[in-house]
Structures are given as structure tokens and as C-alpha cells.
């Protein structure tokens, strides 16, 4: 992705390298895998991950002392701020064209653990969006794991895809979609509630594709393939096969690898937000 020398968002707060003492937070290891399965790429935004994370807050984690970011970390932060700025530009344009006003979210870059309005979270939670404070939270070390552990391709556009997906959850919050989903889920059994969450996640993938469509002037050869590789790696079926060796469709909360790629590509090919109503499609046809 072409990003050097372009506008960077002023809504990014970089907390990496900040020293912290021992703190009770959500843990890693097997617990971290459970949290990752529930909340990777946001889950039903921060609302779903908060109860899980709060149950795990008795785990003690020793935080590293304050340190200076490496040149590579600084550059990655600049890239992230540029992509976040691109999402601002694109969604301002789309909202304006539809007679509305886009409210910009914030982004917090952190290492290890972070306190949010949706509860404490560790890096094991993966990138997520918290609707309570309208912030995207990212531990950039996640992307090393995405490649080494989940088999996604390398490349900066995998990061861009994840950012665009989380911003998609912010769009859902602004439009009232997230609140409607939570309200409906209160009247459903767990399987039906999970299916509604899958619809919400696939719409966020669609919105990520819409962003990529409107940002094509900055794309380079191979960028879309990197996004599709990341989407494939974090499909529910792909994760379940790696972690437990078999697939449990009723436990899906994000959609299969093929569904995630398909909805991202629909957004990318059309650039039309009206084409992303995942809630009107029969579940078996998503």
C-alpha cells in the first residue's frame, strides 16, 4: 500500500513502550486462546468480550519497563495512523453523500494489556472495537501471530484490512446496527444469538471492502490478496480446525473463511454500502 508522506490521523494514541507494573488482567495461554476465539477482530464489538475478560482479571501479568520504540515500530505506527486517516476520509465522504455526518473514532495502540470502557483486555483478545468509548484497540504484535500461527500472508495490507474491519464496527455503532443486534440477542437462545453476531461481523468485513474500493488509488499489486489471506486465516472454521481439530457451526461468531472473503470482496467490487445488508440474507446463503 502506498502510504509514505501522506496524511496521518490525529486520532491515534500510541501507548506502546509505556512502562507499567504488575496488574490483574485477562491472561494468555489457553485462556488467551479462548478469548481470541470469542473476540478476534472485535467480536460483537466490546460488549461480548467484556464478561469473558472480567472473569479472567485475577491473572497476574508482569509488565515490562518503559522503553523506546524501535525504528520499525515507529514506522508501523505511522503506517497505522495513515490507514486510520484513510478510513476517516472515505467514511466522511460516504456519510456526506448519504446526507449524514461521520463521527470519527479513536485508536489506541498498546502492548500487553489495556483498560477500556468495555473492560480490561490483554493482547490475547486480538484487535477489537469498544462501542462504549468508540475506540479501536490494537496490539500490533498480533499481526506477527496472525502470520506465524494462523498462516496468513505477510504484508502491510493485512493490517489495513483489520483496521478497516474494526472501523466497520464503528460505522455499525453510528448507524444503530450494533444496538439493534444487542437488543435482539437478549430475546434469543445462544445459537440464534451467535448467528446474528456472524451477520454483524460479515457486514464489518463488507464495510472493510467498501473502504478498500474507495481507497484504490493507494493500493498496490498483492494488497487485496493479503487482505483475503488474513480474512481466510481468521474464519471460524479455520480457527476451530487449528485449535480443536473439528468444526462446530453453532459456535460460529464471525463466519467461515469463505464467507469473510466473499463479503469483503462484495464491498470491494461494488463500493456501495446499500449492498451490505447481511441481515436480510438467509443464514445458509451468507
What does the pLDDT read at residue 217? 96
For the cut 90, the answer to whether the pLDDT of residue 27 exceeds it is no
Q: pLDDT tens digits for 156-192? A: 899 999 999 999 999 999 999 999 999 999 999 999 9
C-alpha cell at 88: 476517516
- Residue 59 pairs with which residues in a beta bridge? 25
pLDDT band at 155 (very low <50, low <70, confident <90, very high): confident
Q: pLDDT tens digits for 109-149? A: 999 899 999 999 888 888 999 999 999 999 988 877 766 66
How far, in Å, are 105, 171, 268, 271, 275 from residue 215 at the CA level?
Answer: 19, 17, 10, 10, 18
What does the pLDDT read at residue 165? 97
C-alpha 194/C-alpha 134 separation (Å) is: 23
C-alpha 222/C-alpha 193 separation (Å) is: 36
With the C-alpha atoms ordered 118, 123, 126, 129, is the resulting torsion angle positive or negative?
positive
Q: What is the pTM of this model?
A: 0.84
What does the pLDDT read at residue 142? 81
Q: pLDDT tens digits for 45-94? A: 444 444 444 444 444 444 556 788 889 889 999 999 999 999 999 999 99
Output phi, psi for 54, to 5 deg.
-65, -30
The DSSP result for the chain, as a single string, is ---TTS---S-EEE-TT-----EEE---HHHHHHHHHHHGGGSSHHHHHHHHHHHTTTEEEPPPPP-PPPHHHHHHHHHHHHHHHHHHHHHHHHHHHTT--PPP-EEEE-SSEEEETTEEEEGGG-SEEETTTTEEEE-TTHHHHHHHTT----SHHHHHHHHHHHHHHHHHHHHTHHHHHHHHHTTS-HHHHHHHHHHHHHHHHHHHHHHHHHTGGG--TTHHHHHHHHHHHT-HHHHHHHHHSS--GGG-SS--HHHHHHHHHHHHHH--GGG--GGGS-GGG-
Beta pairing, strands 106-109 & 135-138: parallel
What does the pLDDT read at residue 145? 73
CB atoms within 10 A of CB 282: 6
C-alpha cell at 258: 469463505
What does the pLDDT read at residue 242? 86
For the cut 70, the answer to whether the pLDDT of residue 277 exceeds it is yes
C-alpha cell at 109: 495502540
Buried b (16+ CB within 10 A) or exposed e, 36-71: bbbbbbbbbbbbbbbebbeebeebebeeeeeeeeee
Amino acid at each position: 500500500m502506498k502510504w509514505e508522506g501522506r496524511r496521518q490521523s490525529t486520532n491515534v494514541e500510541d501507548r506502546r513502550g509505556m512502562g507499567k507494573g504488575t496488574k490483574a488482567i485477562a491472561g494468555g495461554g489457553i485462556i488467551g486462546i479462548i478469548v481470541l476465539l470469542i473476540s478476534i477482530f472485535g467480536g460483537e464489538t466490546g460488549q461480548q468480550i467484556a464478561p469473558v475478560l472480567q472473569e479472567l482479571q485475577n491473572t497476574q501479568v508482569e509488565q515490562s519497563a518503559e522503553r523506546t520504540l524501535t525504528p520499525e515500530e515507529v514506522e508501523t505506527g505511522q503506517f497505522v495512523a495513515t490507514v486510520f486517516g484513510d478510513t476517516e476520509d472515505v467514511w466522511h465522504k460516504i456519510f456526506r453523500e448519504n446526507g449524514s455526518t461521520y463521527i470519527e473514532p479513536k485508536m489506541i495502540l498498546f502492548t500487553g494489556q489495556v483498560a477500556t470502557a468495555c473492560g480490561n483486555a490483554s493482547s490475547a483478545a486480538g484487535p477489537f472495537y469498544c462501542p462504549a468509548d468508540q475506540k479501536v484497540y490494537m496490539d500490533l504484535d498480533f499481526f506477527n501471530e496472525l502470520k506465524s500461527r494462523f498462516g496468513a500472508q505477510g504484508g502491510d495490507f493485512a493490517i489495513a484490512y483489520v483496521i478497516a474491519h474494526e472501523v466497520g464496527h464503528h460505522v455499525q455503532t453510528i448507524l444503530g446496527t450494533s444496538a439493534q443486534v444487542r437488543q435482539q440477542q437478549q430475546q434469543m437462545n445462544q445459537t440464534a444469538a451467535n448467528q446474528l453476531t456472524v451477520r454483524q461481523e460479515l457486514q464489518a468485513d463488507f464495510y472493510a471492502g467498501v473502504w478498500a474500493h474507495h481507497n484504490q488509488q493507494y493500493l498496490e499489486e498483492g494488497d487485496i490478496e493479503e487482505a483475503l489471506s488474513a480474512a481466510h486465516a481468521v474464519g471460524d472454521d479455520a480457527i476451530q480446525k487449528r485449535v480443536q481439530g473439528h468444526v462446530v457451526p453453532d459456535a460460529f461468531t464471525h463466519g467461515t473463511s469463505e464467507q469473510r472473503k466473499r463479503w469483503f470482496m462484495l464491498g470491494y467490487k461494488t463500493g456501495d454500502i446499500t449492498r451490505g445488508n447481511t441481515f436480510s440474507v438467509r443464514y445458509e446463503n451468507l
